Each structure stands twice: as C-alpha cells, then as structure tokens.
A = this chain, B = another copy of it.
Amino acid sequence: MDEAGQADRAEQGDRPLRVARIQDVAKLAEVSTATVSRALASPERVSPEARARVFEAIAKTGYVPNPAARTLRSQKTYMVLVVLPDLANTFFSRILRGIEETLFEAGYGMIIGDLDGSPEKEAHFSAFTGAGRVDGAILLNGHLFGQRRDGSGQAARLSIPLVALCEAIPGADIPQIEIDNREAARRMTEHLASLGHSRIAYLSGPPENVLERERFKGYQDGLEAAGIAFDPSLVIPGDFTIGSGVTAGQDLVARAKRPTAVFCTSDEMAIGLMRTLLSAGIRVPEDMSVAGFDDIEFAAVAEPALTTIHQPRRELGQAAASALIDLLQGRPSPRSIRLDTELVIRDSVAPLR
C-alpha cells in the first residue's frame, strides 16, 4: 500500500507529511473522536472547555475532515451537478456564476456536466446522479435523464433532488426556474409592430428546444395582436449560435423581398446576422431592424447596440440554486418561479420609414 507507507513516514519539523485525522485531534485534545465530531457539527452540545481544547487541537494539527469518510457515513456529498448543453456558450456563464455563488454560500461545491450534444455524456452524468456523487442537480438542458422507464434492468436509481433552470421540463414534478419566454417574445414582436413593421422575420432556435417553442408562440401571439398575418417564409432556421446568425444573414441578403425587421431569438444570432447584413451593405437599423434575446454583455457594445430582451441571468442561477438547496435541506421548495424580463431598447431597431 503505497500511500499508507508514505503517510507513515516520520513527520519533519512542523510540516506534517500526512493529514491529521480525527483521532489525532481527539488525542491532542484529550477527548474522544465523537466529541471532536460533535464540536464540529453542533458546538453547542459540547462543553466550552472541551470545545476550546478541540478547536485548539484542530488548529494545531491543521485537521480537515475527510470528505469521503464523511460522505460514506452521512450519505451527503455537499456537491451539486450542473448539467448544461454547452459550456462554451456565453449565455450560460453568468448563470453559472449565480449558481456557484449561492451554492458556495450554502457550503456546496459545483460539478459541471457539459453535455456537448453527446448522449454518451448524458448517460455518464446520469450515472453521476445515481451513484451518489452529488446530492442534487440543476438541469439546464431541458430534459430529465437517468429516469428512463425502459424496464431494461438498467434500473432507475434512487432519484435525487432536481431543479430545472431556463428550459422547463414538461411533466417533471420538480421546481422549474425560468422566464416567461412566450410573453417576452410577444412583447418584442409587438414592439417591432408598433414601430410600423409588418414584415417581421423570425430567426429561430433549434426546433426541438423548449425555449424556441415558447418564443415562437410568443412571436405568433405578437403578430396576431398586431393584426399581422403569419408568413412561414419569414421564419428562418437557426440554432442560437453566432454562426447560424451569419448563415441567416446570407439567406436574407440573397432574398429579393426582404423583411423590414428580424427578431432573433438569441443575441449571438443577432450579432452574427447584423455583421453579415452590414457587410452586404444593408444598414441596420435604417434598412433593416434587428432585435435580439438574452441581453448578453456584448449586446450593449454591438454596432449598432442591440435592442433585446434582458434576462436576469445571475438571478436565474441564484434562484435555481436556492430552490435546490431548499430541497436538499428538507425545506419546502417553490414549485415554479418565473423571473421578469425587460425590453431593452437600444439602436438596432428603428421605426419603419
């Protein structure tokens, strides 16, 4: 046993070659290990004297409880898995920060599961939740995993507390934290219409995406409210990425009869789109208005500055983390939270001339 051999070597000076265990602390403080454990978990249940001795011994030894042993005993990992479709997507980073902050304050660590579109990974992270590596999970990917009911014998595991963030999971009985995508999309569409636009294109997200479906409904709602007939030729496929915005721009540039405004369901697409339009000599917003969705950092410094829907990303992350922590600590958790969005008017949208 290599590690043990190593650990058993004599200590040199005041720098221990092995980490202190609860036993060492107990011995030094002249109490039992149980008392050390108690002093840490519920100090008020230990006499002031013993407590003082314990803390002194802890300081002297530099003792830090072994998390693996603790987990084995208590069945708690103090770890949370955050599953998301794409770590490289700007939209998520600030959300992650909101999550991390809140988790951190409550003493939980965050493990990232970047799906990267791979089902293999999905299975892997699913196993993660099943194997007791984490106490709970926040799902940003829009569906539940590890919960298949295919009776294949790959048994469904004991399920852990879950929270859905941003992409609601239809039918799942877990807290869902999101914005009202449909309402926000409707508002933007109406805003465009109120400025005189009637040929309003819609640059979509991936069709299977829940957000996309909600936003698309909102777009249609807005059209209807403004008395504009829906025109399928004005729906351009996209996938939320900069690249698909660029592609959509090429499509638009090539058209004979162009829309006067484009509502993009992500800022990244809007920025990619504007870039292509501008390169082709189509001015924004003079020749074509462009609106985004998300209000990422770059929206305000795009050229022209992007009119968009602001999502409270940090707050979304915080709310999801709080809901999960409630669940983990046995407190009642809100079933569903909808955070407010805001229509941010900048320079990429102008009245129809």
Residues of A at the B interface (CB closer than 8 Å) are 3, 14-20, 59-62, 64-69, 71-72, 75, 77, 79, 87-90, 92-94, 96-97, 100-101, 104, 109-112, 114, 116, 121, 124, 127-128, 130-133, 151, 153-158, 242, 245-246, 268, 271-272, 274-275, 278, 297-298, 300-303, 305
- Known: A93-B93, A109-B111, A111-B111; 14 extra A-B contacts, CB below 8 A, are A17-B158, A19-B158, A20-B155, A64-B130, A66-B72, A67-B132, A68-B77, A79-B111, A87-B93, A104-B121, A245-B301, A278-B303, A302-B303, A303-B303
- Cα–Cα, bound, A246→B297 (Å): 12
Closest to A133 in B: B67
Q: Which residues of B contact A62 (CB under 8 A)?
A: 130, 153-157
Q: Please tell me if the beta carbons of A301 and B68 are within 8 angstroms of each other in the complex.
A: no
- Partner among B60, B64, B271 whose Cβ is within 8 Å of the Cβ of A157: B64
List the number of copies, as a whole number: 2
- Cα–Cα, bound, A3→B3 (Å): 32
- Cα–Cα, bound, A155→B13 (Å): 11
Q: Which residues of B contact A79 (CB under 8 A)?
A: 111
Quote the shortest CB–CB distance from A47 to chain B (angstroms): 24
Quote the shortest CB–CB distance from A49 to chain B (angstroms): 21
Q: List 6 A-B contacts (CB under 8 A).
A: A20-B155, A62-B130, A68-B72, A104-B124, A242-B298, A278-B303
Q: Which residues of B contact A272 (CB under 8 A)?
A: 301
- Partner among B16, B75, B131, B300 whose Cβ is within 8 Å of the Cβ of A65: B131
Quote the shortest CB–CB distance from A83 to chain B (angstroms): 12
Q: Please tell me if the beta carbons of B303 and A153 are within 8 angstroms of each other in the complex.
A: no
Q: Please tell me if the beta carbons of B112 and A100 are within 8 angstroms of each other in the complex.
A: yes
Closest to A330 in B: B2
Q: Please tell me if the beta carbons of A130 and B19 are within 8 angstroms of each other in the complex.
A: yes
- Partner among B75, B124, B130, B275 whose Cβ is within 8 Å of the Cβ of A3: B75
Quote the shortest CB–CB distance from A91 to chain B (angstroms): 10
